[in-house]
């Protein structure tokens, strides 16, 4: 089993409608491919975690990288894992678009600011820590560790 994490810049300003469209398509594809993961969006950036077999993660990532809705893709990690973190999610999406919500303020104070919003980290362990904080704020179920 493998886990890949990347960060990218959105070509156009993001809002929940845009993210929901991506998620709708992704969930169907990922369920078929046995991919699980998490997609985080700010107004300007994506941060995504993809888990599955080597072939499926690789194929999915190659498709995503070619997508013209984003660029400046930075691969943060691609590693062997013992178990999935996002077992129950074919792709869970969360948006942190502004800088004024309680969640945005908390995340900016801990992880920093970029383009007037939350800065998504480039270190994979910090990226996972941020997702875990968001999970807690949204009261999403605990990860399986």
Ligand X SMILES: Cc1cc2nc3c(=O)[nH]c(=O)nc-3n(C[C@H](O)[C@H](O)[C@H](O)COP(=O)(O)O)c2cc1C
Query: Residue 75 forms beta bridges with which residues?
Result: 6
What is the distance between the alpha carbons of residues 14 and 11, in angstroms, rounded to a whole number? 9
Task: Give the tokens for residue 4.
Answer: 């890949």
Out of 4, 14, 57, 64, the residue judged to bind ligand X by CB under 6 A:
64
Closest CB to ligand X among 52 and 135? 52
Task: Tell whether residue 72 is a contact of ligand X (CB under 6 A).
Answer: no
Task: Tell whether residue 87 is a contact of ligand X (CB under 6 A).
Answer: no
To ligand X, the closest distance from the beta carbon of 18 in angstroms equals 9
To ligand X, the closest distance from the beta carbon of 144 in angstroms equals 20
To ligand X, the closest distance from the beta carbon of 69 in angstroms equals 4
Out of 48, 76, 97, 130, the residue judged to bind ligand X by CB under 6 A:
48
DSSP state string for the chain: -EEEEEEEEESS---HHHHHHHHHHHHHHHHHHT-EEEEEE-SSEEEEEEEE-HHHHHHHHHHHHT-TTEEEEEEEEEEE-SS-S-TT-S-EEEE---S-SHHHHHHHHHH-EETTEEPPPSSHHHHHHHHHHHHHHTTPPPPP-
Out of 5, 7, 30, 36, the residue judged to bind ligand X by CB under 6 A:
30
Closest CB to ligand X among 20 and 105? 20
To ligand X, the closest distance from the beta carbon of 109 in angstroms equals 26
Footprint of ligand X on this chain (CB under 6 A)? 22, 25-26, 29-30, 39, 46, 48, 50, 60, 63-64, 67, 69-70, 91
């Amino acid at each position: 089993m493998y886990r890949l994490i990347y960060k990218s810049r959105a070509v156009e300003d993001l809002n929940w409608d845009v993210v929901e469209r991506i998620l709708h398509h992704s969930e169907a594809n990922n369920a078929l491919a046995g991919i699980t993961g998490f997609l985080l969006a700010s107004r300007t950036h994506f941060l995504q975690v993809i888990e599955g077999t080597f072939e499926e993660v690789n194929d999915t990532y190659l498709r995503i990288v070619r997508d013209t809705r984003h660029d400046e893709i930075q691969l943060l990690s691609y590693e062997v894992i013992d178990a999935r973190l996002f077992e129950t999610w074919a792709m869970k999406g969360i948006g942190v678009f502004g800088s004024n919500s309680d969640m945005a303020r908390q995340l900016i104070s801990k992880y920093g600011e970029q383009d007037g919003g939350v800065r998504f980290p480039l270190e994979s362990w910090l990226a996972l820590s941020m997702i875990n904080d968001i999970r807690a704020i949204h009261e999403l179920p605990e990860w399986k560790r």
